[in-house]
């Protein structure tokens, strides 16, 4: 009984810290008991150091068969003749079978289809891909790899979303973009669909006398991308605007 009482007292002291003179109050009477104390300390440290950090990635769910259907509004501006072309159509992105990509990650093919309205037939227009890493959500669009989300998701967190893109002459406009979470865990309603928790990513926002460039994406928990805006306009005084505005709004998902 005395030995068990001494052992419990020592364990309590180990957890709470030894007070002045407390060490002298405990007599360690055997080598096995000393080894037990050492093993207890080692196992406690090991447990604390190996507990994994749980990172919530539910804003970017990946599973074969999942799809999201979007209503798309596109407006094109021509500085050549001052014309404005407006088009409305639908895009569906569906996750296909997984594979190992060229960076060694498990990725999913995205089958992108387009139709002009609710009753017309779908036609495949692109095969993209997407994947998760320990700390990022990535999407390859037209062979360009974007870091869409950076985990964990925190308000005002910033990262280089185009860091994996070679910003040569064709993609020079993507150079140096700093993505930022401007809204986190916020309720949002789009196209009559309500979402309890969404995150807004401001990818780029640059406005001056001759140029206006705004790129925004919004994601809903357990759904994925629910809204996207791309606005790239040249607006020189005295000349017609040149560029485009594209908005995608979620219409349906599974």
**DSSP letters for 102-113:** TTS-EEEEEEEE
pLDDT, position 12: 52
- Calculate ∠ Cα 158-163-168, nearest 5°: 135
Mind listing the pLDDT tens digit for each residue in 121-139?
A: 999 999 999 999 999 999 9
Percentage of the chain exceeding pLDDT 70:
79
Mind listing the pLDDT tens digit for each residue in 77-96?
A: 998 888 999 999 999 999 99
pLDDT, position 237: 82
Whether 48 shows a pLDDT value over 80: the answer reads no
Strand duo 123-132 + 136-141: pairing:
antiparallel
Q: What is the average per-residue pLDDT within 230-241?
A: 88
Q: Could you tell me which residues are beta bridge partners of residue 9?
A: none
Query: If 0-12 CB within 10 Å is exposed, 13-18 middle and 19+ buried, where does residue 66 land?
Result: middle
Q: What 3-state class would DSSP assign to 76? A: strand
pLDDT, position 235: 84
For the chain, counts of helices (H) and of strands (E): 2, 12
In which region does residue 2 sit, left (phi positive, over 0), alpha (psi from -120 to 50) or beta (all else)? alpha
Q: What is the average per-residue pLDDT within 34-51?
A: 56
Peptide bond into 102 cis (omega under 30): no
Buried b (16+ CB within 10 A) or exposed e, 216-242: bbbbbbebbbbbbbbbbbebeeeeebb
Q: What is the average per-residue pLDDT within 220-240?
A: 93
Percentage of the chain exceeding pLDDT 90:
69
pLDDT, position 170: 85
Answer whether 128's CB lies under 8 Å from 112's CB: yes
Answer whether 91's CB lies under 8 Å from 114's CB: yes
Q: Where are the alpha helices (DSSP H) in the chain?
A: 2-16, 31-50
Q: Which long-range contacts (CB under 8 A, 24 or more apart) does 197-200 make?
A: 197/221, 198/226, 199/59, 199/149, 199/153
The DSSP code for 25 is G
Mind listing the pLDDT tens digit for each residue in 143-181?
A: 999 999 999 999 999 999 999 999 887 889 899 999 999
Q: Confidence class of residue 238 from pLDDT cuts 50, 70 and 90?
A: confident
């Amino acid at each position: 009984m005395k030995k068990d009482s001494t052992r419990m007292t020592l364990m309590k002291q180990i957890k709470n810290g030894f007070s002045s003179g407390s060490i002298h109050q405990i007599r360690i009477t055997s080598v096995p008991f000393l080894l037990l104390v050492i093993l207890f300390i080692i196992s406690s440290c090991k447990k604390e150091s190996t507990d994994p950090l749980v990172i919530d990635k539910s804003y970017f769910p990946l599973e074969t068969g999942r799809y999201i259907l979007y209503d798309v509004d596109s407006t094109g501006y021509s500085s050549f003749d001052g014309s404005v072309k407006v088009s409305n159509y639908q895009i569906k992105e569906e996750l296909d079978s997984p594979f190992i990509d060229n960076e060694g990650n498990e990725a999913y093919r995205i089958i992108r289809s387009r139709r002009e309205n609710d009753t017309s037939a779908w036609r495949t227009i692109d095969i993209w891909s997407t994947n998760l890493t320990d700390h990022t959500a990535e999407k390859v669009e037209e062979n360009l790899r974007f870091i869409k989300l950076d985990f964990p998701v925190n308000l005002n967190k910033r990262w280089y979303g185009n860091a994996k893109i070679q910003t040569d002459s064709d993609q020079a406009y993507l150079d140096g973009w700093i993505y930022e979470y401007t809204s986190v865990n916020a309720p949002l309603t789009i196209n009559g669909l309500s979402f309890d928790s969404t995150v807004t990513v401001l990818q780029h926002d640059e406005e001056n006398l001759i140029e206006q460039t705004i790129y925004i994406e919004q994601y809903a928990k357990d759904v994925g991308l629910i809204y996207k805006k791309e606005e790239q306009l040249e607006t020189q005084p005295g000349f017609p605007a040149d560029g485009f505005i594209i908005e995608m709004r979620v219409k349906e998902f599974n």
